[in-house]
């Protein structure tokens, strides 16, 4: 118990120290929200990865999808690495950094307003962001109760409040730079922790081959009558597995808190290194989490799905580990949750301040006032998430937990296609962006309220979210072709940033005199 407590004290002390050290980088809006657009490759890559993977992934999704799909759930982690990290950096990273700086936009709603014209898009995007990030923020606490109960026997409410307060303090003090540096440290903890946990769990089952053999011997006729299905390549339900891969991988392309990491990249070299580091991080952390969850059914004699739900699977798998390793796991899950929480509250507060309050509620708002309001809103968002999380736990309101899938689907469905086409295609129209906003939010809200009316495949919020994202990639270009062309001056002004000539190494481009 002393070792566990000591690890937590050291962990929290480091987080807070970094927050106060980074105060000098958060004296203006650009520094507080984007770190002055001067964040290096390793820090940016880890900030991206730790914002991506939270306790929801480690405790909730890894347990749930590992139980449903067996070892095939590892495909979700592989998809997260290849689509959610590698392709996201390659396709979005450079263009996002160039155009957002050119348009002087610090948030995604600001980008939509500057790229497509008009304040209405900015207001709509900020409202969507605010509404759907709140339940996502509250869901980050899911799973913490079981882990802390197993390790410390401390009341869940105290755990949530302490975590939220400490996260809020270092974000308020140091802004984006404190968040990014803490993400880097938390990311290292996550890398070491997940490797140690996998080795420990597999060792408890006699090693990888023995564990895989045990998994192949498990059958569940309510799922599939095929022998060894949970140890197979694609598992018992490949179609629904594909929906999970799409939502959790492609979805990052449209999430404001993820895309905003590209705004702060320092240089071209940072993009190249960041791409490699971020992909490696996702392979280890996401791939490891889902790989671990795939062996959940080996512990079916100890897991009570009916009463404990899927969140009980991973804690049950870890309960037999040595105390020191359990302490590492607790810090791992705290790291995953705090890094994502800090990113979400910073995104929410900056969006609400810069996109909704500034110029609308407050006609005149200097930098000092903007910083004050953003810091105040961080307190508000953290408090709301804590209240929702505690109500969910005390009242056992599973409805709130389901909002995680709805939130991710609505945000990614509404923003992915307009943002992607806005970076690459001159022909994207404002009307097409509006149609996509309305389509995705209506579909996901309807899925939440009248789910039984949906086709069976789309009753799952995950599949519905994946459908909205893919539909948006069709809706935006089709609507754009049949609506009024965007203002030529506006488009030319936005894309002028790509015409600037820069010097590059010959390994990147041959010179004209060698033709």
Q: In this structure, what CATH number is given to the domain that contains residue 287?
A: 1.20.1730.10
Q: Which two tokens stand for residue 443?
A: 């579909």
User: Helix 323-351 vs helix 2-21: angle between axes, to the nearest 10 degrees?
Assistant: 30
- For residue 151, is it within any domain? yes
Residue 358 pairs with which residues in a beta bridge?
Answer: 362
pLDDT at residue 398, as a whole number: 56
- Domain-located, residue 511: no
Is residue 436, in this structure, part of any structural domain at all?
A: yes
Question: How many residues does this entry show for the chain?
Answer: 515
Token pair, residue 94, equals 């450079």
Per the DSSP assignment, residues forming a β-bridge with 224 are 220
Range list of β-strands (E), 292-352: none
φ, ψ of residue 304 to 5 degrees: the values are -115, 90
C-alpha separations of 299 from 204, 231, 292, 319, 461 in Å: 11, 15, 12, 11, 27
Residue 514 lies in a domain: no
- pLDDT in 10s for each residue of the chain, 515 residues: 677 778 778 888 888 888 888 887 777 777 787 776 777 778 888 888 888 877 677 777 888 888 889 999 999 999 999 999 999 999 998 899 899 889 888 888 889 989 998 788 888 998 898 888 877 777 777 656 666 666 666 777 887 888 888 888 888 888 888 888 888 888 888 888 888 888 988 888 888 999 899 888 888 877 777 888 888 888 888 988 998 898 889 988 998 888 888 887 877 777 888 899 999 999 999 999 899 989 988 888 787 776 656 777 877 787 777 777 777 777 877 777 777 778 888 888 888 887 777 766 676 777 788 888 888 888 888 888 888 878 877 776 555 556 677 888 899 999 999 999 999 999 999 999 999 999 999 999 998 888 888 888 888 888 888 899 999 999 999 999 999 898 889 999 989 988 877 777 766 655 555 44
> Vertex 279, ends 66 and 18: CA angle to 5°?
100
Tell me how far apart the alpha carbons of residues 119 and 491 are, in angstroms, rounded to a whole number.
Answer: 16
Instruction: Answer yes or no: is 302 within a domain.
Output: yes
The whole-number pLDDT of residue 311 equals: 72
Q: Quick check: 285 and 190 in contact, CB under 8 A?
A: yes
Beta pairing partners, 362: 358
In a domain, 44, yes or no: yes
In a domain, 179, yes or no: yes
Domain residue limits at 463: 2-498
pTM of the model: 0.85
Query: How many structural domains comprise the chain?
Result: 1
Are 374 and 349 in contact by the 8 Å Cβ rule? The answer is yes
DSSP 8-state secondary structure symbol assigned to residue 221? T
Query: Do the domain assignments include residue 366?
Result: yes
Q: How far apart are CA 227 and CA 217, in angstroms?
A: 7
- Residue 317's contacts (CB-CB under 8 Å, 6 or more residues apart) are 201, 292, 295, 296, 299
């Amino acid at each position: 118990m002393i070792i566990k407590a000591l690890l937590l004290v050291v962990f929290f002390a480091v987080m807070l120290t970094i927050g106060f050290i980074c105060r000098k980088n958060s004296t203006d809006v650009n520094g507080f929200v984007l770190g002055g657009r001067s964040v290096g490759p390793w820090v940016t890559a880890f900030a991206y990865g730790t914002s991506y993977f939270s306790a929801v992934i480690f405790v909730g999704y890894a347990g749930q999808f590992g139980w449903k799909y067996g070892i095939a759930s590892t495909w979700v982690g592989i998809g997260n690495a290849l689509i959610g990290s590698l392709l996201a950096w390659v396709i979005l990273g450079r263009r996002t950094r160039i155009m957002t700086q050119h348009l002087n936009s610090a948030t995604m709603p600001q980008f939509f307003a500057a790229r497509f014209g008009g304040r209405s898009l900015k207001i709509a995007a900020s409202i969507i962001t605010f509404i759907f990030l709140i339940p996502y923020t509250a869901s980050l606490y899911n799973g913490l109760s079981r882990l802390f109960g197993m390790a410390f026997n401390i009341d869940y409410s105290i755990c949530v409040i302490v975590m939220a307060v400490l996260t809020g303090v270092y974000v308020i003090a140091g802004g984006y730079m404190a968040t990014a540096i803490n993400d880097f440290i938390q990311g290292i903890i996550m890398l070491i922790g997940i490797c140690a946990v996998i080795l420990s769990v597999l060792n408890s089952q006699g090693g990888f081959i023995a564990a895989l053999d045990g998994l192949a011997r498990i059958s569940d006729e309510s799922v599939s009558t095929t022998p060894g299905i949970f140890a197979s390549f694609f598992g018992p339900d490949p179609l629904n597995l594909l929906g999970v891969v799409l939502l959790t991988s492609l979805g990052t392309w449209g999430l404001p808190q993820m895309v905003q990491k590209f705004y702060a990249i320092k240089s071209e070299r940072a993009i190249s290194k960041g791409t490699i580091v971020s992909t490696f991080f996702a392979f280890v952390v996401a791939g490891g989490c889902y790989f671990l969850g795939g062996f959940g059914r080996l512990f079916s004699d100890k897991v009570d799905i009916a009463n404990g739900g899927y969140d009980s699977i991973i804690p049950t798998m870890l309960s037999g580990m040595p105390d020191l390793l359990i302490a590492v796991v607790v810090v791992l899950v705290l790291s995953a949750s705090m890094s994502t929480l800090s990113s979400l509250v910073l995104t929410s507060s900056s969006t609400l301040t810069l996109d909704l309050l500034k110029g609308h509620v407050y006609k005149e708002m200097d930098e000092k006032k903007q910083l004050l309001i953003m810091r105040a809103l961080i307190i508000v968002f953290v408090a709301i998430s804590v209240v929702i999380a505690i109500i969910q736990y005390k009242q056992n309101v599973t409805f709130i937990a389901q909002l995680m899938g709805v939130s991710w689907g609505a945000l990614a469905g509404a923003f992915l296609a307009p943002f992607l086409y806005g970076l690459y295609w001159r022909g994207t129209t404002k009307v097409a962006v509006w149609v996509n906003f309305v389509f995705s939010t209506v579909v996901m809200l309807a899925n939440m309220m009248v789910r039984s009316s949906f086709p069976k495949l789309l009753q799952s919020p995950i599949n519905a979210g994946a459908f909205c994202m893919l539909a948006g990639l069709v809706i935006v270009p089709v609507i754009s072709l049949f609506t009024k062309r965007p203002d030529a001056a506006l488009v030319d002004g936005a894309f002028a940033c790509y015409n600037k000539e820069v010097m590059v190494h010959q390994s990147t481009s041959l010179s004209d005199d060698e033709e």
